[in-house]
């Protein structure tokens, strides 16, 4: 098929590259000249494992190309995907300006009957707005073409985006139009050989399913983080609880990790946007509000623990920080917990020696403060530091030399924001260990 993708970001680029990889001809259109320039020179503008290889081989095979405008690709397009950003506005609602601008551009560029697929995460009713926007342009042009708008939310995760796209748990297609259903079923057939992954529903349900999925994930994390706080107080290790609860197949082991709060470009904004949608319909959202409040507090937990260990003396202290990206295997720092920790430490007068395998440069641009020193590797970050905080669970942080750390860190403490380490082993090596919800019998407080 001939495919046009509007928006060459995480979702658009992965979608375009993967669809080209199974034989489609794909044009990715983006307004950002720097991004286009990089792509045209064969460079992927962000870090995503395996993506560059898929892009390079499909560009070489002339199945994948990049363009600044929809012309002339729309002349041959069977399907056009809208994969532009939907960031949060000030009041938390999804900013649809990019989606609606792309819709108007599509209305001006459609040159044949085309299925328009909204892949961006959008509130219920947006696809209908997209349809109206495109139809108005088509009417103004007086052309006979039909654009059928369908919803097809994306569920990939950054850091494993290519694999997630190629092996989806489910493919949600929202449309009542039988022709669009058939076309999208054919497009996704390579990922649905057993015919069990495609869920066809109405447009509004598809739009809602995306938010429901993300807020469920966020809720699980906040619940685990709340349990972790209590676990610490009553002498319970949340890691043991995670194993025990996850063994129930109704609960499952995935997404049960207590930590420093969820970040990224999606969970935080989507929880906010759904709460906002509810408010617009006069519905309160006590659960979603708590999910967000717990997450905000969780992002501040590590700095409070560090402050306590240093007896309140953060001023003049030096904190080594491992991990800046909001999760491993990405350089994305949008709403990253590391940024909250950095902000709190800098405001308290501390110096930070930070290391991240790929996200350092982005943090340098976001936080141009000389007291944030970006280091060339994990060990260098610890030299001259008082304590170590681990915020992102990159593989290379999983098994450090704790005895060396005990000799190097002046205040001999590790703050494990991802519960990577065995507390007893760390302490046997001569360090004080602080995790998230790693209560032990001796740390339990007697009830008041």
Ligand X SMILES: NC(=O)C1=CN([C@@H]2O[C@H](COP(=O)(O)OP(=O)(O)OC[C@H]3O[C@@H](n4cnc5c(N)ncnc54)[C@H](O)[C@@H]3O)[C@@H](O)[C@H]2O)C=CC1
Please report, as ranges, the residues that interact with ligand UGA according to CB under 6 A: 121, 154-158, 214, 217, 221, 255-257, 259, 262-264, 266-267, 326-327
Decide whether 30 or 386 has the Cβ nearer to ligand X.
30
- Residue closest to ligand X, measured at CB: 9
> Binds 26, which of ligand X, ligand UGA, none (CB < 5 to 8 A, cut-off by type)?
none
What tokens appear for 120 in the block? 């961006």
Instruction: Report how far apart, in Å, the C-alpha atoms of 79 and of each of 115, 116, 178, 186 are.
Output: 5, 6, 15, 12
Binding range to ligand X, per CB under 6 A, among 57-65, 99-107, 189-197, 294-302: 99-107
CA atoms within 13 A on the CB side of 83: 26
Q: Are 168 and 191 spatial neighbours (Cβ–Cβ below 8 Å)?
A: yes
Among 31, 57, 129, 307, interactor with ligand X by CB under 6 A: 31
Please state, in angstroms and rounded to a whole number, the distance separating the CA atoms of residues 427 and 324.
Answer: 25
Q: Is the peptide bond before 72 cis (omega within 30 degrees of 0)?
A: yes
- Three-class DSSP category at 190: helix
Distance of CA 259 to the CA centre of its chain: 15
- Does 12 help bind ligand X (rule: CB under 6 A)? yes
Q: What's the CA gap between 160 and 116, in Å, rounded?
A: 26
Q: Which stretch binds ligand X (CB under 6 A): 26-34, 370-378, 422-430, 439-447?
A: 26-34
Stretch that binds ligand X, among 83-91, 107-115, 125-133, 336-344 (CB under 6 A): 83-91
CA distances from 233 to 303, 334, 435 (A): 18, 31, 13
Among 25, 63, 98, 242, binds ligand X (CB under 6 A): 98
Question: Pattern of binders to ligand X over 249-268, x per CB under 6 A?
Answer: ----------------xx--
Specify whether 266 is catalytic. yes
Q: Which does 435 bind (CB under 5 to 8 A by kind): ligand X, ligand UGA, none?
A: none
Closest CA to 174 of 219, 131, 138, 136: 131
Q: Which stretch binds ligand X (CB under 6 A): 31-39, 167-175, 181-189, 438-446?
A: 31-39
* DSSP code of residue 237: B
User: Binder to ligand X among 3, 54, 138, 156 (CB under 6 A)?
Assistant: 156
- Active-site hit among 18, 28, 127, 266: 266
We find the least distance from the C-beta atom of residue 305 to ligand X, in angstroms, to be: 30
Q: Which of 152-160, 198-206, 277-285, 401-409 is the region at the interface with ligand X (rule: CB under 6 A)?
A: 152-160
21, 48, 158, 335: residue in contact with ligand X (rule CB under 6 A): 158
| DSSP state at residue 48 | -
Tokens of 63: 């199945």
User: How many helices and strands in the chain, by DSSP H and E?
Assistant: 17, 14
Rounded Cα distance, 439 and 236, in Å: 5
Distances (CA, A) of 178 to 141, 175, 186: 26, 8, 12
Please list, in sequence order, all residues whose beta carbon lies within 8 angstroms of the beta carbon of residue 111, skipping any fewer than 6 positions away: 74, 75, 77, 145
Interface region with ligand X, contact rule CB under 6 A, candidates 51-59, 77-85, 191-199, 339-347: 77-85
Q: Which is nearer to ligand X, 145 or 155 (CB)?
A: 155
Q: Which of 345, 305, 296 shows the shortest CA–CA distance to 324?
A: 345
Beta carbon of residue 154, minimum distance to ligand UGA (angstroms, whole number): 6
Please select the residue that binds ligand X; options are 48, 154, 232, 239, rule is CB under 6 A.
154
Buried b / exposed e along 397-431 (16+ C-beta atoms within 10 A):
beebebeebbebbebbbbbbbbbbbebeebbebeb
Beta bridge partners of 388: 320, 414
218 is an interface residue for ligand X by CB under 6 A: no
Q: How far is the CB of 77 from ligand X (least distance, A)?
A: 14
Q: Tell me if residue 10 falls in helix, strand or coil.
A: helix
Q: Which does 262 bind (CB under 5 to 8 A by kind): ligand UGA, ligand X, none?
A: ligand UGA
- Please give the residues from 105 up to 134 whose contact with ligand X meets the rule CB under 6 A: 105, 120-121
Q: How many CB atoms lie within 10 A of CB 55?
A: 26
257 binds, among ligand X, ligand UGA, none (CB under 5 to 8 A by kind): ligand UGA
In the complex, what is the shortest distance from the CB of residue 168 to ligand UGA, in angstroms, rounded to a whole number? 10
Among 67, 101, 223, 444, binds ligand X (CB under 6 A): 101
Given 4, 11, 302, 391, the residue binding ligand X (CB under 6 A): 11
Minimum CB separation of residue 391 from ligand X in Å reads 19
Shorter beta-carbon distance to ligand UGA: residue 228 or 306: 228
Report how far apart the first and last C-alpha atoms of the chain are (Å, whole number): 68
**Smallest distance, ligand X to C-beta of residue 63, A:** 20
Binding site for ligand X (CB under 6 A): 6-12, 29-32, 35, 83-86, 98, 101-102, 105, 120-121, 154, 156, 158, 265-266
Residues annotated as catalytic are 266
């Amino acid at each position: 098929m001939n495919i046009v993708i509007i928006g060459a970001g995480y979702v658009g680029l992965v979608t375009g590259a993967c669809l080209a990889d199974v034989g489609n001809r794909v044009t990715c259109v983006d307004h950002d000249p720097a991004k286009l320039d990089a792509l045209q020179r064969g460079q992927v503008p962000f870090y995503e494992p395996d993506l560059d290889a898929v892009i390079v081989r499909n560009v070489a095979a002339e199945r994948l190309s990049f363009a600044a405008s929809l012309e002339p690709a729309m002349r041959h397009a069977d399907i056009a995907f809208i994969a532009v950003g939907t960031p949060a506005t000030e009041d938390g609602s999804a900013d649809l300006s990019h989606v609606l601008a792309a819709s108007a551009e599509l209305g001006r560029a459609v040159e044949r009957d085309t299925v328009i697929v909204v892949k961006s995460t959008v509130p219920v009713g947006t696809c209908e707005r997209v349809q109206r926007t495109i139809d108005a342009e088509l009417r103004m042009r007086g052309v006979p073409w039909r654009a059928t708008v369908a919803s097809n939310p994306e569920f990939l995760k950054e850091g494993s985006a290519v694999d997630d796209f190629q092996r989806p748990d489910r493919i949600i297609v929202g449309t009542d139009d039988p022709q669009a259903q058939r076309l999208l079923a054919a497009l996704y057939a390579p990922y649905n050989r057993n015919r069990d992954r495609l869920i066809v529903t109405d447009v509004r349900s598809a739009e809602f399913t995306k938010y429901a999925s993300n807020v469920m994930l966020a809720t699980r994390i906040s619940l685990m983080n709340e349990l972790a706080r209590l676990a610490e107080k009553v002498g319970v290790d949340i890691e043991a609880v995670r194993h025990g609860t996850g063994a129930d197949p109704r609960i499952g082991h995935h997404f049960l990790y207590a930590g420093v709060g969820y970040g990224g470009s999606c969970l935080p904004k989507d929880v906010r946007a759904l709460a906002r949608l509810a408010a617009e319909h006069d519905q309160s959202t006590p659960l979603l509000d708590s999910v967000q409040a717990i997450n905000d507090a969780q992002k501040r937990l590590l700095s409070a623990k560090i402050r306590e260990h240093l007896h309140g003396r953060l001023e003049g202290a030096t904190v080594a920080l491992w991990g800046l990206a909001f999760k491993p295997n990405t350089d994305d720092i949008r709403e990253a917990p590391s940024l909250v920790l950095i902000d709190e430490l800098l405001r308290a007068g501390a110096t930070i020696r930070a290391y991240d395998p790929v996200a350092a440069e982005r943090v340098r641009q976001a936080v141009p403060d000389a007291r944030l020193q970006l280091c060339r590797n994990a060990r260098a970050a610890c030299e001259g530091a008082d304590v170590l905080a681990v915020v992102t669970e990159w593989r290379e942080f999983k098994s450090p030399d704790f005895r060396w750390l005990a000799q190097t860190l002046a205040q001999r403490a590790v703050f494990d924001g991802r519960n990577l380490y065995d507390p007893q082993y760390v302490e046997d090596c001569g360090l004080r260990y602080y995790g998230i919800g790693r209560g032990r019998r001796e740390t339990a407080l007697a009830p008041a």
